[in-house]
Structures are given as C-alpha cells and as structure tokens.
Chain A
Amino acid sequence: MLEYLWIVPLLPLLGSAVNGFFGAKWPNKIVNIVAIGSTGLSFLGAIEAVHEFFDYFAQKQQPFHREFFTWIAAGNFRAGFDLQMDQLTVVMVLVVTGVGWLIHIYATGYMAHEGGYYRFFSYLNLFMFFMLILVLAANYVLLFVGWEGVGLCSYLLVGFYFLRKSAADAGKKAFIVNRIGDFGFMLGTFLLFKTFGTLDFVQLFAKADPWPADAMGHLGTLTIACLLLFMGACGKSAQLPLYVWLPDAMEGPTPVSALIHAATMVTAGVYVVARSHILFAHAPTAMLVVAIVGCATAFFAATIGLVQTDIKKVLAYSTVSQLGYMFLACGVGAFSAGIFHLMTHAFFKALLFLAAGSVIHAMGGEQDMNRMGGLSKKIRWTYVTMLTATLAIAGFPPFAGFFSKDSILLSAFQSEYGGRNVGYALYGFGLATALLTAFYMFRLIFLTFHGKPRYDEHHVHVHESPNNMLVPLMILALLSVVGGWFAAPAFLPGGTDYFAKFLQPVFRNVEVVGAEAEVHSLEIWLAAVAVAVALAGALFAYWLYLKRPEKADGLAKSLKPAYTTLLNKYYVDELYAAAVVRPLLWISTNVLWKTVDVAGIDGAVNGIAEGAKAIGDGVRHAQSGNTRSYAVWVVVGALVVIAVIFFWPSGGKPVLGMVH
C-alpha cells in the first residue's frame, strides 16, 4: 500500500466525481454507499499504509518519500506529485481519514432530509481528497494545492444553503479572508525557493538545518519566510487578526463545521508550522510571534465565547481558542504537544459539533441556547457524549484534553523564547483561557441540557437522533476519553509520554524528549493547578446558570459595558468593515469602477467609435447622389494626378519625355 500511497487521496476524489456527476438522480442510499465507501476504503488504505510505514521506518530510519510524477519542471524548479510519510503525517492522515469517515456516517443521518444530498457528499469527499493531499504532500507546492483545495471546499460547503444570503456571504467571507493569508503563504514559499532553490521538504530542511539561526529580534531571511508562512497559517487556522471568518462559517451544515471547521482544515495551519519546524527553530522571533498570537487568540476568542447564545457560535469561538493553544505550543517549541492537542481536539471538538448537531436535529433546527434547557433526559445519548467532550475540552483528567492542554501549559511555563517572564505570561494567559473554556463549555451544557425547558413543549417534539448519528458520537466519545493516554505524562502510573516519543524522529532537531531528570513535582503542581482552575470554571457556571439563574442577568447588567462589548465580539467585524471593507468598496466604486473603468477604458473605446462616426458623418455629405458632382470629383482627381506627375519632385525623370 505504501508504494501505492496515491490511492489513499484518490479514492475520495473518485467518490466525489461519481456522486457529483451521477448522484443527482440516485436515491440517497447509493450516494451513501459511494461516499462512505470511498472514504472508508481510504481510511483502511491509510491504516495499511501506516502499518507498512512502520516496517519501512524500522529498517531505513527515515521518512518514506516517493515521486509519483513530475507536475511542473522549469529550469531548476521542480514540483512533483510527490507524497511523503513520516510520523507527523501518520497522525494527520489517521485523524483526517478516521474522523472524516465518522463524520461522513453521521452526515448520512443529519442531512437525510436536506436537498442537494448528492452535492453535499460530493463536496465532502472532494474535501477529503484535498485534505489528504495537504497532509501527504512532500513539497510546499503540492501542499499549497491541498491548501487551496480545502479552502475551495470550505467555501462550497459553508455556502451550501446558498439560497440564504447569510450563508452565501459567509462562504465569500471565508474565501476572501483566507486569500489574505494565502498571499503571505505564497510569498513565504517564493522566498524559500529563492533562498534554498528547492521546495521539497526533505531537501529544503536538509539545506536549512546547517543555516545559522537568526538572532532574536533580527529579521533575517528565515524569520521573514517563517512569518509569511505563519500569515498563511493565521488565515487558515483562524488566528488573530484573520479569525473573523470562522464564526461566520457556522452557516454551513453542522457536519461541515465538525469536519472542516473544527477537526481538520483549520488545523492545517498548525500542521504547516509543525512541518516547517526546522525553519521556525532558526527564527526565534517568528517563534515568539507564533506563541504570542496563539496565546492572544486563545484568550481573546474564549472571552467572546463566554456570552454567545448560539450553540454553534460558542463552539466556533472555542475552536478558535483551542487553535490558539496549538499555536502557543508550537511557538514555545513544543511541536509534539501542539500536534497532540490537534489530535485530541479533533476528537472532542468534532464530537462537540456533532452532538450540537444532534441537539439541533432534536430541536427541529433551533440553535439558540436560550430556547433549550432540560434536554438531558430526552436525548440521553447525545447528552452523555457531549458531556464527555465537554469534560475533555475543559481539561478534566482522565479525558483527552487534560493531557494535551497540560503539556502545552507546561511547555509555555518552561519556555525560554523571549525570556522567562514571557513564558510566565504565556502560561498565565493559557491558564486563564483554561478557566474561561471550562466556564463557557459548562455554561453550554447547563443551558442546553439542564434547568427548566425554555422552549414550547407543545410545538417542539424533542427526539433522539437515529443510530447512524449516535454511533459516530459514541466512537468519538470513546476516543475523547482514551485519546489522551497516548501522551500520558511520565509521572502518572502507566504514563510514558508515548506520543512525544512517537513524533521524536520528526522533531528530533528541535525537541528534547525523555530527559527523565525533569522535575516531576513541577509537572504535578501545574497539572493540579490546571484541574483546579477547570473545576472552578465549571462550578462557577453551575452556580450561575443552575443554582442562581437570576444572578446571570444581574451580572450581565452590573458589567454592562464589558458584556455588550463581548456580545458584539469586540466590534471587530464593525472595525474591519470601517477600516477595510468600506474603504475598499469606496475605492472600487468611485475610482476603479466609475473613474478607471467607465471614464477611462469605456471612454477610450466609446470615444474611438464616436470619433469614427463623426468623421463618417462629415464625409458622407460628399456622397450627394448628383451624377455631375461625381463627374467633378473625377475631373479634379484626374487633374491632381496629372499635377503630381508633372510637378512631383521625383528627381527629374520626365514621364512624357518619349514624345520628343
């Protein structure tokens, strides 16, 4: 299978093509078979490929790299359809195909009554294809193909309900905001090619490794390249200041939010940073920027999440926040911790979205948590799975989020980049974010599942989702519980920090793992603090929303300025509209449209036509229709010809000289 690695991404593409071209007239069942079959086979193929890769790696001790065919060759530039597999790819491929497959199954239940069923699965399969290209690519050019492809699918799926204007607008917003980041990404790859003459990962990193590291605060080539790559990552992974598209992307169907805007596509930025870790290791300034942006985004998005009432919006801001954690981990050099959080987050955030979808399904399309409440008894399985995911994301042991968040906070605490105090500040904000996370997630749980029902029980018939939706929920819930034990820290019984050791071959240049002399007491203390903070957040949410619900409104009133600011998401959208969108619109309307296009280009084209018409208008009067006037013209013409013959200064060659 490893030799035929291209089959893994190709299967979903085939599924997408078959469903897209022929699915319109098929019943849902056949569309299901094609969509789930192709992704399921792709998942199995990925497992087999990973299995073979382990044997390969055991022998060769190097990443698997195969050039399938050359795509672009110009001068010394070569971009090929080259696929690569190392431990980082293994994690990504399994997460993408595994979680993707589960979400496909879930979607067959969730989308069963929607129009455009085949179209939905065609797009979803296409997304799987591009995402697999992204993570399997062996050079930046092919990675960029996947990168843009997932952006396209995100656009198509966010705007899936394209008859609704808000959905179409959200799709456009996602696409355009990502363009800004992609611009930086492309410039970054150009700079890398100019510097190193190759974009192939293996060659590029081999050349970059002996390169002298830039000093902190110095904008060397690598620092600039890394910052540009990170700009692309900011767009794709919804970091400050380009995060604005992700909350709006919740206009898409919920399985899309789970697959693209939580588990896989938005983590592509983290993947790129981790993939380029050798470059980043040479650019401490870029690392510091990554850490600060990630930390700031984590905190900033978490505060917005505190007051949102749309169940999916809370999860969207939570996703932005958790992605910030991943970048924080990368920024302090703990790439394996970032990737580990990426994996656990894929489990529990996909689960949260799918469970939220199940709630929405049960409520008949209602998304406002103010009109829910008391659902826990009616949709028990959804409640149990969602509670599992909430415990995981809030960081309670022994759920997955505890381990990943804990290792990130530990790395931030010990960070050396930019000095100790920066590390402590990052840790402090990370810890505060953990508190906020626990609070808003339990707020979501209490508002949705507990308390008194706030919906019209006569009209809304709450019903549990069908099995094809519940089974993926249960599998993901299981993963959210056990997923963390891959990286159980060494101080726990049975913990071996397996995950970091697994990724060690990839990150060996930048990370030291297994320095057993580490003070375990520090780790234990930090873990205890994190759990205490999470517990405090959860208890506060319990007190505020279950014990004394009337206090919540009072608190909102007493902190009115802060509350309204948060409710309006810090007015960032309004700020962008005023600072970017409206000036651009004004320039486009008044300068580009009315001046350049209408006056300039159209003016020139129409002016030439008008001029020709005016000349014709003047000249046509010579065409009087009077025969004798024509005769005069003939005579005048003849006289002119004769005059020219006689008087033209032709060097004195006499035309009629032969008469003599």
Chain B
Amino acid sequence: MVPTNYYLILSAILFGLGVFAFIFKRNVITIFMSIELMLNAVNLAFVTFSQALGKLDGQVFVLFVIVVAAAEAAVGLGIIILIARNRQTLNVERVDLLKL
C-alpha cells in the first residue's frame, strides 16, 4: 500500500510542472498541454483523497473534470487553429493585440 502522501506529492509535482510550463513556454500548444497536465494533477489529488477518505465524491468530480477538459480541448484547439491561420504563428508573445 503506497502511502497517501506519495500520491499527493506526485500530484503537486505534476501541477508545479504544469504551472512552470504554462508560464515559460511560448508555443501555444505546449501551453495547452500544460493546462491538461495541471488538470490531471488535480484529478490525481481528487482520487487520492477519495481513496483515503473512503468517499466517492472525489471520483465523481474527476469524471466532471474529464468532461469539462474534453470540451475545453475542443474549444481551445479551435481557437489555436484560428490563431495559426490568422497570424501564421503559434508563439503567444506575438499574439498580444488584446491590450490598450
């Protein structure tokens, strides 16, 4: 039986990696993937607590997160395709027109 803390630490590491990649990567697809990584890190924490506390709430939440993540992936990929078409780039630093 692996202790609960190990799962949580793994979850935290994955989440931290996601945050790190989200901030420092420039390619919009990589950023998108880092978001997925953060979501799944949270999912891991949910199921860990669900197991540790013997309740199903966490697992139900995980299912919700997966559904939302799928929808978000569809919308997000659509946006990315449009950006790529209009700006001929995937570098987020060059997609900064939305400012004063």
Contacts and interface: CB of A to CB of B under 8 A. Distances in A.
Given A632-B23, A635-B19, A635-B23, A627 B99 contact: no
Contact of B23 (A625, A631, A659): A631
A608 B22 CA distance: 40
A626 B22 contact: no
Nearest to A623: B99
Contact of B97 (A625, A628, A658, A659): A625
B22 A625 contact: no
A624 interface: yes
4 pairs of A and B residues whose beta carbons are closest in the complex:
A625-B99, A625-B96, A627-B92, A626-B96
Contact of A628 (B23, B53, B99): B23
Contacts of A658: 53
Contacts of A659: 49, 52
A620 interface: yes
B19 A623 contact: no
Interface string B68-87: 00000000000000000000
Contacts of B52: 659
Contacts of B19: 635
A628 B100 contact: no
Contacts of A628: 22-24, 26, 31, 92-93
Nearest to B53: A658
A659 B26 CA distance: 37
A628 to B, nearest CB: 6
A623 B99 CA distance: 6
A436 to B, nearest CB: 82
Nearest to A639: B19
Size class of B's contact patch? 10 to 19
Given A624-B96, A626-B93, A627-B92, 15 more contacts: A623-B99, A625-B96, A625-B98, A625-B99, A627-B31, A627-B96, A628-B23, A628-B31, A628-B92, A628-B93, A631-B22, A632-B23, A635-B23, A658-B53, A659-B49
B100 A620 contact: yes
A632 B20 CA distance: 10
A618 B17 CA distance: 33
A614 to B, nearest CB: 15
A627 B92 CA distance: 7
Contact of A627 (B24, B49, B95, B100): B95
Interface of A: 620, 623-628, 631-632, 635, 658-659
Nearest to A624: B99
Nearest to B99: A625
Nearest to A627: B92
Nearest to B26: A628
B23 A626 contact: no
Interface string B1-39: 000000000000000000100111010000100000000
A627 B96 CA distance: 7
A631 B93 CA distance: 13
B42 to A, nearest CB: 12
Contacts of B96: 624-627
Contacts of A626: 92-93, 96
A658 B57 CA distance: 15
Residue among A624, A631, A632 with max Cβ neighbours from chain B (10 Å): A631
10 contacts: A623-B99, A627-B92, A627-B96, A628-B23, A628-B26, A628-B31, A628-B92, A631-B31, A632-B23, A659-B49
Nearest to B95: A627
Contacts of B93: 626, 628
Nearest to A635: B19
Contacts of A631: 22-23, 31
A628 B49 CA distance: 31
A628 B24 CA distance: 7
Nearest to A617: B100
A631 B98 CA distance: 15
A631 B53 CA distance: 33
A620 B19 CA distance: 25
Nearest to B25: A628
Contacts of A623: 99-100
B44 to A, nearest CB: 15
Nearest to A638: B19
A635 B22 CA distance: 10
Contacts of B98: 625
A635 B23 CA distance: 9
A628 B95 CA distance: 11
Nearest to B94: A626
A28 to B, nearest CB: 69
A623 B19 CA distance: 20
Nearest to B19: A635
A624 B93 CA distance: 11
A377 to B, nearest CB: 90
A659 to B, nearest CB: 8
A626 B93 CA distance: 6
B86 to A, nearest CB: 15
A629 to B, nearest CB: 9
A627 B35 CA distance: 13
A52 B52 CA distance: 109
Contacts of A625: 96-99
Contacts of B23: 628, 631-632, 635
A503 B100 CA distance: 87
A310 B24 CA distance: 96
Interface in B40-78: 49, 52-53
Contacts of A632: 23
Contacts of B26: 628
A620 B99 CA distance: 9
B25 to A, nearest CB: 8
Contacts of B31: 627-628, 631
